[in-house]
Every structure is written in structure tokens, then in C-alpha cells.
Amino acid sequence: MDVNDRRLRELYARWLDIATKAGFAISLGAFLLYVGGVLPAYLPVDELPRYWTLPVHRFIEVTGAPSGWAWLDELGYGDGLNLAAVALLGLVTPLCYARLLPALVAERDWLQAALAALQLAVLLAAASGVLAGAG
């Protein structure tokens, strides 16, 4: 049992390691492009202090900042690109579970496989934004 567990742990760790490092590199690169002014900002950074004291619903009303999936239309802006980089971190765990699931099935560990499949469904439902009322 422990040999199988160790193999699964190593598999999960490897995918987690690669995906997290990629997320870190992408976040760092996107942030430097944003604050360095290489890309235009949807909301200029020097204007942000005027608005970041507002609750989120007022912030969106006043600035017209995107919510739901609308940030996908703003990838040409530094702040939009950074949101995409952050969202990638939200996809690391679903990616690792998607890799873990067939490994659990191959081990014939049916109960853990069923739970992992349910977890993957919950994560994907959350990411889709349907349950959160994303537009």
C-alpha cells in the first residue's frame, strides 16, 4: 500500500511543482510588464489609490473594471493580463487532480478515484463561474 501511495504522492508532487513554478514565472513576468508600463493599464496604477478603499461593488461601478469572465477581453492591458496569470494559479489543483484521477483508476483504488472525480467536478464548476453568478 505504501509503495503505491508514495508513487501517487510523487506523481502529484511533480505536476504540482511544474505547474506552480510555471504560475510563479508567468505571474512575475506579467506583473513586471504591468508596473513597468510596458503594457497599458485598464486602470492606471497611479490612479488606483483613489479607488482601492472602495468595496468591490462600488469599485466596479466607479471604474467599470471587469467582473465575471469579462477580464478575458482585457488581456491586452497589464491588469487584465495579471488577472489571467492569477487565474492560472486557480487551475493548478484541477490540473493535478486531472492527472491523479487516471493513476488512481490504474491502481484500482475506486473509492479514492470517485472522490477525486467529484472534487474535479466541484473545482471545474467553481472555475466556470456558473455557481458564482459570473457573467
Partner 1 sequence: MEIGLGVNAAPWWIWPIALFAVSFAIGIVAVLAGVGGGVLFVPIVGSLFPFHLDFVRGAGLMFALAGTLAAGPPLLRAGMASLRLVVPLALVGSIGSFAGALVGLALSTELLQISLGVLIIGIAILIWRSRSADSADVEADALGALLRLEGEFRDPAAGVTIDWRTRQTLLGLAAFGAIGFVGGIFGLGAGFANVPALNLLMAAPLKVAVGSSGLLISVINSSAAWVYIHRGALLPLVVVPSILGVMLGSRIGARLLGSTPAPVVRRLVIVVMLLAGLRALSRGLGWM
* Subset of residues 102 to 131 that bind partner 1, contact rule: CB under 8 A: 111-112, 115-116, 118-119, 122-123, 126-127, 129, 131
Q: What distance in Å separates the CA atoms of residue 85 and residue 73, rounded to the nearest whole number?
A: 14
CB atoms within 10 A of CB 57: 9
CB of 90 to partner 1, least distance (A): 5
Query: Which phi and psi (to 5°) does residue 130 adopt?
Result: -65, -45
Q: Which of 48, 72, 76, 110 is the binder for partner 1 (CB under 8 A)?
A: 48
Q: Which of 22, 90, 106, 110 is the binder for partner 1 (CB under 8 A)?
A: 90
Q: Which of 36, 37, 40, 66 is the binder for partner 1 (CB under 8 A)?
A: 66
With both helix axes pointing from N to C terminus, report the angle between 2-35 and 78-89 in degrees, rounded to the nearest 10: 170
How many angstroms separate the first and last alpha carbons of the chain?
46
Q: Which of 36, 38, 49, 108 is the binder for partner 1 (CB under 8 A)?
A: 49
Residues 17-46 that bind partner 1 (CB under 8 A): 17, 19-20, 23-24, 27-28, 30-31, 34-35, 45-46
DSSP class of 73: G
